[in-house]
Amino acid sequence: MPPTPAVVDDTRRPMTVRLAAPRGFCAGVDRAIQIVERALEKYGAPVYVRHEIVHNKHVVDRLKAMGAVFVKELDDCPDDRPVVFSAHGVPKSVPATARSREMLFLDATCPLVSKVHVEAERHHAAGRHILLIGHAGHPEVIGTMGQLPPGAITLIETVGDAETFVRPVHAPLAYATQTTLSVDDTAEILAALKRRFPELPDPHKEDICYATTNRQEAVKRLGAVSDLVLVVGSKNSSNSVRLVEVAQRAGAVAAHLVDDAAQIDWAWFEGVRSLGVTAGASAPESLVQGVIDAVCARFDAEVSEDDGLRETVTFKLPRVLTA
């Protein structure tokens, strides 16, 4: 007897799904994760990691299962086990303390964040007061401000901060930015600063990293043609949160941040015919595929990928892990 044919649900609503390109892991995130993985291979478990290596719950949970132990401070680490510093960077006091305790430490700071640190030190050495555009409490901002003595850097979070900032007496000014900011928001803040302080010099290169910029440009294209945009990423991921904001400004009727497919509220899809999907720089592609699979299970989805930039940037691992 021939098998019973599968029942086709002709009631499923058509859905156009566009995937942003580029999306997901950037070179700095990929490098940081590899550093933890290689350290576990070379030294065995446990390997300690100061703060989340990158801001993604699924990545952190997977590394925990492999033997990584995530801690808040070096005080939580034993002297005789390796410790990895997160991709966001750390204040200078952290590696100094690790050296004083003769710890084996591996610095997974993104090279583009390290570039901002070097830039801040150069400005300080030249006698300039530094305006750091960024978000208070973000690990990257804490790390950058911790490169210099207290008072050497003023944090500027908003246009309002730029308008009310009081220059230290006779101090020439410079600025730097957190690497994961909204390009458009940062431009507004810079415009306010330049209006008040026309002599303010430009950085050598744009501090907002290539991956943040590329992902924001890609989601702008999605937002302009999508009823709904889903951004795969964690709530504590600055670049992921910015993607939601950029999608909404670009014209998406709605945009939501989800850690994974399980967080999708299907009520968001009422009346939706076109869906855009992207992922923050610390979100694995497997989570994006999970979202696509969930959408395809409920709708008659036609999935395509935008013809966006193809990133080829890679960063070298620490020599101690490749020898």
Q: What is the pLDDT of residues 140-167, one digit of tens each?
A: 999 999 999 999 999 999 999 999 999 9
Neighbour-count burial of 180, counting CB atoms closer than 10 A to its CB (0-12 exposed, 13-18 middle, 19+ buried): buried
Range of the domain at 290: 14-25+210-305
Cα angle 134-135-137, degrees, rounded to a multiple of 5: 130
- Based on the domain organization, do 146 and 188 belong to the same domain? yes
Same domain, yes or no, for 41 and 92? yes
Q: How many domains would you assign to the chain?
A: 3
> Which pLDDT score, from 0 to 100, does residue 308 have?
87
Rounded to the nearest 10 degrees, what angle do helices 27-43 and 57-66 cross at? 10
Mean pLDDT of 95-120: 97
Give the pLDDT confidence score for residue 170 in this predicted structure: 82
Has residue 293 got a pLDDT over 80? yes
Residue 5 pLDDT: 42
Q: Is the dihedral of CA 220, 222, 225, 230 positive or negative?
A: negative
Same domain, 269 and 240: yes
Q: What digits encode the pLDDT tens for the residues 221-275?
A: 999 999 999 999 999 999 999 999 999 999 999 999 999 999 999 999 999 999 9
Catalytic residue among 37, 119, 121, 140: 140
Residue where one domain finishes, among candidates 196, 229, 259: 196
Domain boundary among 174, 196, 218: 196
Same domain, 20 and 83: no
Return the DSSP state at 198. Answer: T
- Residue 44 is predicted with a pLDDT of 98
Domain shared by 117 and 72, yes or no: no
Active-site annotation holds for 140: yes
**Which CATH number covers residue 232?**
3.40.1010.20
pLDDT at 7 over 80: no
Domain annotation covers residue 248: yes
Tens of pLDDT, residue by residue over 32-88, are: 999 999 999 999 999 999 999 999 999 999 999 999 999 999 999 999 999 999 999
pTM for the structure as a whole: 0.92
Neighbours of 255 (CB within 10 A): 24
